[in-house]
Amino acid sequence: MIREGKRNILGISVDVTDYEAAVESILHAARARKPFAVSALAVHGLMTGVLNEEQRFRLNALDLVVPDGQPVRWALNWIHGTSLRDRVYGPNLTLEVCKSAEQEGLAVFFFGSTEEILQRLRQTLLVRFPGLRIVGTMSSKFRCMTLPERDHIVEEIRKSGASIVFVGLGCPRQEIWAYEFREFLSCPLLAVGAAFPFLAGTIQQAPLWMQDRGLEWLFRFSREPLRLWKRYVLLNPQFLALLLLQRLRLVPFADRGRLPTEYVLPG
């Protein structure tokens, strides 16, 4: 079990951890009914905080930020001399948490994505974990919520008795959601990226050999070039250039960020 605290990557505090320690932290918060906001962060998610001070503040206010992407893991090893041998991939983290939740009888809730994907996700998970207590799902509205809608969501999750909430809104909306809802829900909130459609089987995952070599971005880009070209063609080189500056200690990359001035409610 690896639990070595947070390290600064371009101003974003990323936890040096593995699956075992991450799951244990999440389960501990679930048992104790404690607010606990988690994000599985790849390069795109990390760069949203690098380029926006308010998003940096949100990310650094989360309780656990795991290295979802291989390049983020490599950055931890290169910049800080950590010895992480594997990333903590959002879809796999979801499966590991569901496995432990089934064993302990903890109820789970899924928020985000579409009704079709949520239905297929439920079916897939119950095949793998027949005893898993899925006490609710709620699809995304694909817009900002009103305050009454926020209160309704909070009430629905509370009434469901969920001990863990998985959030699949896409980056950066899901991290904003976890940041904003943390004060209203006394349970772990896990922003897990594309885990919902991946596990539901509606989007194909990259082959394992590409994942291991940090080439998942190339696979996804080849499938959705018009939607993803800015993310990968612009952000990936920028990430590498800034990482070199941090490695050479030419830029300090402060992790303070700026307290958000606008109350955003993605839903």
Domain CATH for 186: 3.40.50
Residue 151 lies in a domain: yes
Residue 230 lies in a domain: no
Looking at residue 179, its pLDDT comes to: 96
Q: What's this model's pTM, rounded to 2 decimal places?
A: 0.94
Q: Please list, in sequence order, all residues whose beta carbon lies within 8 angstroms of the beta carbon of residue 256, skipping any fewer than 6 positions away.
A: 56, 57
Q: How many residues does the chain have?
A: 267
Residue 205 lies in a domain: no
Quote the mean pLDDT of the chain.
Answer: 94
Compute the CA torsion angle 74, 218, 196, 49 (nearest 10 deg): 50
Strand partners, 191: 39, 167
Residue 70 lies in a domain: yes
Whole-angstrom Cα Rg for the chain: 18
Looking at residue 223, its pLDDT comes to: 83
Residues 60 and 228: their CA atoms lie apart, in Å, by 25
Looking at residue 92, its pLDDT comes to: 97
Residues 149-164: tens digit of each pLDDT:
999 999 999 999 999 9
Residue 242 lies in a domain: no
By CB atoms closer than 10 A (0-12, 13-18, 19+), residue 221 is middle
Cite the DSSP H helix spans in the chain: 19-32, 43-51, 53-61, 70-80, 90-104, 115-128, 147-160, 173-181, 195-200, 208-212, 216-223, 225-229, 235-247
Residues 188-234: tens digit of each pLDDT:
999 998 999 999 999 888 898 988 888 888 888 888 888 877 788 88
Residue 240 lies in a domain: no
- The residues of the chain scoring below 70 in pLDDT are none
Residue type present at position 267: G
Residue 254 lies in a domain: no
User: What's the sign of the alpha-carbon dihedral 253, 40, 14, 71?
Assistant: negative
Residue 141 structural domain: 3-200
DSSP for residue 205: P
Looking at residue 139, its pLDDT comes to: 94
Q: How many domains does the chain have?
A: 1
Residue 223 lies in a domain: no
